[in-house]
Amino acid sequence: MTALRLYNSLTKAKDVFAPIDPADVRMYVCGPTVYDRAHIGNARPVIVFDLVFRLLRHVYGADHVTYVRNITDVDDKINARAAERGVSIRQLTEETARGFHEDVAALGCLAPTHEPRATEFICRGEGELDMVKLVQRLIAGGHAYAAEGHVLFDVSSMPAYGRLARRSLDEMQAGARVEVAPYKKGAMDFVLWKPSTETEPGWDSPWGRGRPGWHLECSAMSAALLGEVFDIHGGGIDLIFPHHENEIAQSTCCFGHERMANVWMHNGFLQVEGEKMAKSAGNFVTIREVLADWPGDVARLAMFSAHYRQPINWTLKSLQEAERTLGQWFDAAASDAEARPAPDVLEALADDLNTPKMIAEIHRLKSEGARKALAGTLRFLGFRPDDYEAWKAASAPEPALPVSEIERLIDARIAARRERNFAEADRIRDELLAQGVALKDGAGGTSWEVVR
């Protein structure tokens, strides 16, 4: 296989991927804030980075890749939603996290190696890195200051601030809103820690009872589980600024390395009629709603139809097309094969996850009748024929004839063929087709399906 090349948002180029330690390739992806059911736009990064995970496992060995995707279970949106619904915060976050796991498993995504919850990394034991210790180190290093129960990151203390997003501090400050919180020294300084009222969740800290800012969570969890510098950091393109820029500021200033992660990967937006699918825009469909109509594999394949950095339009047509394609692939694939991708498919993926090219290569495998390679490739990509078949059986329209009658006619046709009366056999086939029942002769006998 040619070298794996990944587009790096930090260098704005497709770089050859060289892990820090090939025996332990490390990737962190920002996970969901668990206050509501995820929409299919939120599924895009989960599916894209699942593919990266599978590819890395193939190249470096399944035991040599560590994938961390967090769960943000402390956030003001969570507090508000729990109050609105009259349930405890814990109940809301547990229930939402469970739903998220079901959704992404149905989309064919492997579980990450670790799935840390933010609340478990706020205060930990002595010698264990946590959010409070990270803030203390930033203050000691002159990168953060406490004011009125808050702790803020001082962006003026970091010359490289804005490097990932390619924005200069001067420009950002000039563009900042006029109304800046009074406890901030600079308009772009961001919150590391904030005070909690008695009713809000809070943790004791040197700055009083409070809770962490969102950006801080990922710096602490990634360093605790992957080390101070790791290989790949991923998320949606909307996270570049401020979230990822601020993660970099915290981690590099705390640990003193030039980088937090060597490669930064960002997926483009999933759109509806040219607009980003977003909760705030109200144009969203939940993963759960998609799965009510389609098998997870169809949504998964539809997601691969565009390159991950390009926007993708979510349409009924693309789902229908994915369904048709998948049905053809499964029909043509052998029923047993190891989960191994064909070399041409691997080549396409090694080129910054070129999934449109990958799909073209799979079509080629099918047309060449490479049944084993096709099956191995589909399994490697996380597609599951059994799920698809079960969905197909459950969603098949009712035939116009009773099943016993269809079976009687099939038997009659088999008998006719045995007597070499092919005219009669064909007549029976046509008669069934006229009733909307199509026959398919395969190695295992004759099967039938209702024509849609």
Ligand X SMILES: Nc1ncnc2c1ncn2[C@@H]1O[C@H](COP(=O)(O)OP(=O)(O)OP(=O)(O)O)[C@@H](O)[C@H]1O
- Site residues (vs Zn ion, CB under 5 A): 30, 218
218 binding partner (options ligand X, Zn ion, none; Cβ < 5 to 8 Å by kind): Zn ion
> Is 317 annotated to bind ligand?
no
- Residue 152 or 261: which CB sits closer to Zn ion? 261
- Residue 218 or 301: which CB sits closer to Zn ion? 218
Quick note: the x/- pattern for ligand X over 234-263, rule CB under 6 A, is -xx-xx------------------------
CA Rg value for the chain? 27
- Residue 160 or 278: which CB sits closer to ligand X? 278
CB of 191 to ligand X, least distance (A): 17
**Binder to ligand X among 101, 279, 309, 357 (CB under 6 A)?**
279
Number of residues forming the site for ligand X (CB under 6 A)? 19
277 binding partner (options Zn ion, ligand X, none; Cβ < 5 to 8 Å by kind): ligand X
CB of 24 to Zn ion, least distance (A): 21
What whole-number distance in Å separates Cα of residue 128 and Cα of residue 140?
Answer: 18
> Is 126 annotated to bind ligand?
no
CB of 218 to Zn ion, least distance (A): 3
> Is 253 annotated to bind ligand?
no
**Binder to ligand X among 199, 280, 335, 404 (CB under 6 A)?**
280
Residues 96-115 that bind ligand X (CB under 6 A): none
> Is 243 annotated to bind ligand?
yes
> In this chain, which residue has its C-beta nearest to ligand X?
236
265 binding partner (options Zn ion, ligand X, none; Cβ < 5 to 8 Å by kind): none
What whole-number distance in Å separates Cα of residue 217 and Cα of residue 235?
Answer: 15
- Residue 6 or 30: which CB sits closer to Zn ion? 30
- Residue 210 or 234: which CB sits closer to Zn ion? 234
What whole-number distance in Å separates Cα of residue 211 and Cα of residue 77?
Answer: 13
Residues 27-46 that bind ligand X (CB under 6 A): 30, 32-33, 41-42, 44-45
3-state SS, one letter per residue, for 319-385: HHHHHHHHHHHHHHCCCCCCCCCCHHHHHHHHECCCHHHHHHHHHHHHHCCCHHHHHHHHHHCCCCH
212 binding partner (options Zn ion, ligand X, none; Cβ < 5 to 8 Å by kind): none
φ, ψ of residue 104 in degrees (nearest 5):
-75, -25
For 440, counting Cβ atoms within 10 Å of its Cβ (0-12 exposed, 13-18 middle, 19+ buried), the class is: exposed
Quick note: the x/- pattern for ligand X over 45-84, rule CB under 6 A, is x---------------------------------------
Q: What's the first-to-final CA gap in the chain, in angstroms?
A: 42
Q: Which stretch binds ligand X (CB under 6 A): 80-88, 163-171, 199-207, 264-272?
A: 264-272
Q: Which stretch binds ligand X (CB under 6 A): 175-183, 275-283, 335-343, 376-384?
A: 275-283
CB of 22 to ligand X, least distance (A): 27
Tokens found for residue 127? 């010698």
79 binding partner (options ligand X, Zn ion, none; Cβ < 5 to 8 Å by kind): none
251 binding partner (options ligand X, Zn ion, none; Cβ < 5 to 8 Å by kind): none
What whole-number distance in Å separates Cα of residue 197 and Cα of residue 209?
Answer: 8
**Binder to ligand X among 107, 270, 326, 350 (CB under 6 A)?**
270
Tokens found for residue 83? 């109050």
The bridge status of strand 13-16 relative to strand 445-450 is unpaired
CB 341 within 8 A of CB 306: no
45 binding partner (options ligand X, Zn ion, none; Cβ < 5 to 8 Å by kind): ligand X
CB 31 within 8 A of CB 76: no
- Residue 224 or 277: which CB sits closer to ligand X? 277
- Residue 221 or 350: which CB sits closer to Zn ion? 221
> Is 109 annotated to bind ligand?
no
Query: Which residues make up the interface to ligand X (CB under 6 A)?
Result: 30, 32-33, 41-42, 44-45, 235-236, 238-239, 267, 269-270, 276-280
Instruction: Tell me the binding residues for Zn(2+).
Output: 30, 218, 243, 247
Instruction: Tell me the binding residues.
Output: 30, 218, 243, 247, 279
